[in-house]
C-alpha cells in the first residue's frame, strides 16, 4: 500500500488515530520514533519554529518545502496543513497537486478566513464546498484519488454562542462530507460532551484537536476515544515542549556556567540517542 492507503486504513483501525504536530524533519522523526503511526504538519508550529511568528507569516512555498522535509524524514503517512488552500478553488487545485508531488498522504483544508481579520470568521460554506471539490479533482488528475481530505471548520471557535456553533459545525460537517471530504476537523472543542454531540450529529469521521491551551485541562485522549472520535490532532504539543526544553536548557547554562545540571537532569541527547534519531 502507498502511504495514502495506509493513512486510510489507520483512520479505520486506530480509533482514534493520534497525530502530533511536526514543524521540521527532526520533529517528524521524533514523532515516528515515539511510536506514533502518522504525522500532522502544523502551520502554527512551522510558523513559530521558522519565523517566531504566526502561521499566516508562512507562505505557500515555505509550507511546501517544510512539508517536503517532513515527508523525507519519516516512513509513516504525513498529513499536510494546506491552510485555506492559499486561495480560491482554482488555486486550491494547484495547491493540492503540489502537496501530492512532495508525497503527502492527506491534507487539511480549512474554512477560516485567512489572514484572520480583527474578528475571526469563516467563509461561506458553499465556497468551502467548491474548494473540497477542487481538491478532489486535483487528486484525481495526479492519480492520487485516495488522498485523505481533512476538511476543517472553525465555526465553533468563531461563534459567540457555543450551542449554535456546534449546530453549525454539524451542518457544515455533513455538507463537506457530501462534497468529498473524508474527515471533518472541528476546532475549538473544549469539553467531552461537545465532542460527543459533534460525532453523533455529523455521522461521519470526526477529528478534534487536543492538548491545546483552551482544552488541555478539560479534554483527554481517553475521553475523545470514548466519544468515538476518529482522529486526534496535537497541533502544538511538539513545538510547545521544544520551546520549554530549550528555554530550560539555556537558562541552566546561562546561570551556572557549566553543564553538570544538564547531565544530571538528562536534558542533553546522548550519542546513542542521536544515532537512533539519524537511523532510518
In angstroms, rounded to a whole number, what is the distance separating the alpha carbons of residues 66 and 71? 9
**Cell numbers linked to 175:** 455538507
Sorted by where each starts, the structural domains of the chain and their CATH numbers stand as 3-235 (3.20.20.60), 237-280 (no CATH)
β-sheet bridge partners, residue 22: 41
**What is residue 37's predicted lDDT score, i.e. its pLDDT?**
98
**What is residue 119's predicted lDDT score, i.e. its pLDDT?**
83
In angstroms, rounded to a whole number, what is the distance separating the alpha carbons of residues 94 and 82? 11
**What is residue 121's predicted lDDT score, i.e. its pLDDT?**
94
Report helix, strand or coil for 16.
coil
In angstroms, rounded to a whole number, what is the distance separating the alpha carbons of residues 139 and 56? 25
Walk along the chain (280 residues) and give the pLDDT tens digit of each residue. Answer: 899 999 999 999 999 999 999 999 999 999 999 999 999 999 999 999 998 887 777 899 999 999 999 999 999 999 999 999 999 999 999 999 999 999 999 999 999 998 888 788 999 999 999 999 999 999 999 999 999 999 999 999 999 999 999 999 999 999 999 999 999 999 999 999 999 999 999 999 999 999 999 999 999 999 999 999 999 999 999 999 999 999 999 999 999 999 999 999 999 998 998 998 988 7
Query: Cis omega before residue 16 (within 30°)?
Result: yes
Report helix, strand or coil for 188.
coil
Amino acid at each position: 500500500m502507498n502511504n495514502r492507503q495506509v493513512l486510510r486504513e489507520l483512520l479505520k483501525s486506530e480509533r482514534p488515530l493520534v497525530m502530533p504536530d511536526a514543524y521540521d524533519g527532526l520533529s517528524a522523526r521524533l514523532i515516528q520514533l515515539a511510536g506514533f503511526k502518522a504525522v500532522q504538519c502544523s502551520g502554527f508550529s512551522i510558523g513559530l519554529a521558522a519565523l517566531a511568528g504566526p502561521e499566516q507569516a508562512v507562505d505557500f512555498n515555505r509550507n511546501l518545502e517544510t512539508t517536503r522535509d517532513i515527508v523525507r524524514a519519516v516512513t509513516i503517512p504525513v498529513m499536510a496543513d494546506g491552510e485555506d488552500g492559499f486561495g480560491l478553488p482554482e488555486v486550491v487545485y494547484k495547491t493540492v497537486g503540489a502537496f501530492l508531488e512532495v508525497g503527502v498522504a492527506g491534507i487539511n483544508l480549512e474554512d477560516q478566513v485567512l489572514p484572520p481579520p480583527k474578528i475571526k470568521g469563516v467563509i461561506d460554506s458553499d465556497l468551502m464546498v467548491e474548494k473540497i471539490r477542487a481538491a478532489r479533482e486535483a487528486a484525481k488528475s495526479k492519480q492520487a484519488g485516495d488522498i485523505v481530505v481533512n476538511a476543517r471548520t472553525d465555526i465553533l471557535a468563531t461563534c459567540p454562542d457555543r450551542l449554535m456553533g456546534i449546530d453549525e459545525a454539524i451542518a457544515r460537517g455533513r455538507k463537506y462530507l457530501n462534497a468529498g471530504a473524508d474527515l471533518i476537523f472541528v476546532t475549538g472543542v473544549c469539553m467531552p460532551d461537545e465532542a460527543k454531540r459533534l460525532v453523533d450529529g455529523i455521522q461521519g469521521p470526526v477529528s478534534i484537536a487536543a492538548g491545546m491551551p483552551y482544552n488541555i485541562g478539560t479534554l483527554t485522549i481517553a475521553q475523545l476515544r470514548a466519544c468515538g472520535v476518529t482522529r486526534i490532532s496535537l497541533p502544538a504539543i511538539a513545538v510547545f515542549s521544544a520551546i520549554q526544553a530549550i528555554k530550560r536548557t539555556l537558562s541552566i547554562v546561562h546561570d551556572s556556567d557549566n553543564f553538570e545540571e544538564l547531565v544530571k537532569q538528562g536534558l542533553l541527547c546522548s550519542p546513542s540517542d542521536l544515532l537512533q534519531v539519524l537511523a532510518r
